Amino acid sequence: MDLYENDHGEYRSKVSDAMKPFEIDSGSFETPPELLEKTDALDPDLVENDKRLSDRALARIVLDITSALIDDKRIKDLAAKIRKELEKDEYEMPLVPEFNPKEAKTKGFSPFLRPDGTPTVAGPVTAIDDDDPKYRKTPDEEEAEQLADAEAEAAAKEASSAESLSEGELVADQDEEDDEE
């Protein structure tokens, strides 16, 4: 939220980069773990919802992004509890209060944070007209998407044929060995 308040242009750039695959932050962060580490989102010593993720969010992180999480007893215990709930299919997603338009009138309002600092689900809904050209893909974007799909399909076919070919070679090699015996 500091970036949003201090530099709207940079904030918009980072949010738009987050929507692009493999480009979390073209300016500085190269991977999601790097983004989380450098913004202190994973620091269990900070106050929850201030600059870091909640305990429940930290406990859901399975990969060892930072040893500080692994060594923190509170997070370790909560992760074990959540793991058991997930295994029993009893895990309940955390509920987040919906956006309240009345709160928008308060000073220092943010559609993503409640006055007590806890996050909201999302800001106010914006109606999008699908017929409006600014919400549609450009011809270049459509062509790039089609090209990427075609390349992925070709690569999948190639991998499939290479796999069946190697299986055929194994059978042929086995037949040759049987003939030699």
Q: Mind listing the pLDDT tens digit for each residue in 125-135?
A: 566 666 777 66
- Domain edges within the chain: 2-126, 127-181
pTM (2 d.p.): 0.30
**Closest C-alpha among 50, 38, 44 to residue 2:** 50
Q: Which residue has the higher pLDDT, 170 or 58?
A: 58
What's the pLDDT at 63?
46
- 36 has a pLDDT exceeding 80: no
Tokens 């406990």 — which residue?
Answer: 59
Q: Mind listing the pLDDT tens digit for each residue in 141-166?
A: 888 888 989 998 988 888 777 666 55
